[in-house]
Amino acid sequence: MAIKRLKQADWADDIAEIQNSAGNPLFKTVELDWSRPKIWSKDMRVPDFDTEEPFLYALVRNHGNSMTKDHIEYIGLTKSPSTRFGNHKTAKAIVNKRGSVSFSYAPVDFIKGKNKIDRISRALEEIEHLLIWAVGNELENQKKMFTLPGLGVNGGNAWQIFNKGYRFSGRMPMEIVFPWMLVRPGRDLTLK
């Protein structure tokens, strides 16, 4: 599909300048600091993480026949990490595949003040959905793959998401702006 004729809407020079009718910033800003992936071996019941705060996570798989490294297989969220992974069938199926599977997570760090999010659960859902769409269609996620972000019954917020920390060999976008859905990709280092 050619997108040569499309261009971004000229709303402002800076996302911070875009405000709603009450004068508050329209775009909610969030920074995700991804941890360095740790191996989640077949004999481990749950992956290794060191927080009980809500977080987003990615399962990364590398196997011998792959032409790329750090292949993101699944993106998810958890509001209660201590109970999430004991009965996660999709995650266990990925861990049981051939090759090594690693687990990376990003606690949600919302910028305080005017961008404060009152409903963390809904915010996590929206951010997860945007990450699924931005990373691509090779994921093993069952939900949120075939619906556009923000077009459900409850609508959605405008987001500016910064991905920091571990880079996933360029597979995770450095920044996502939605509803523009502009993605500034990282340098693609997936070739071994």
Tell me whether residue 180 is in a domain.
yes
Q: Are 97 and 61 in contact (CB under 8 A)?
A: yes
Tell me whether residue 9 is in a domain.
no
Tell me whether residue 11 is in a domain.
no
Tell me whether residue 134 is in a domain.
yes
Residue 149 DSSP class: T
Tell me whether residue 8 is in a domain.
no
In which domain, by residue range, is 145 found? Answer: 25-184
Tell me, what's the pLDDT at 182? 60
The number of domains in the chain is 1
The DSSP secondary structure of 38-49, one letter per residue, reads EE--TT-SS---
Structure tokens given for 26: 């329209």
Rounded Cα–Cα distance for residues 25 and 158 (Å): 10
Q: CA torsion angle for 11, 12, 18, 22 (degrees, to 10)? A: -80
Tell me whether residue 18 is in a domain.
no
Reading the chain (192 residues) residue by residue, the pLDDT tens digits are 445 555 565 666 777 777 777 777 788 889 999 999 999 999 988 899 998 888 999 999 887 666 667 789 999 998 888 888 878 889 999 999 888 999 999 988 665 555 555 567 788 888 999 999 889 878 998 887 777 777 766 678 889 999 999 999 888 999 998 887 566 667 778 776
Rounded Cα–Cα distance for residues 92 and 23 (Å): 46
Q: Write the Ramachandran bin of 70: left for phi over 0, alpha for psi from -120 to 50, otherwise beta.
A: left
Tell me whether residue 17 is in a domain.
no
Tell me whether residue 105 is in a domain.
yes
Q: In angstroms, what CA-CA distances link 122 with 77, 97, 156? A: 11, 32, 9
Burial pattern 2-41, b for ≥16 Cβ within 10 A else e, equals: eeeeeeeeeeeeebeeeeeeeeebbbbbbbbebbebeebe
Tell me, what's the pLDDT at 99? 85
Global pTM value: 0.82
Q: Are 161 and 127 in contact (CB under 8 A)?
A: yes
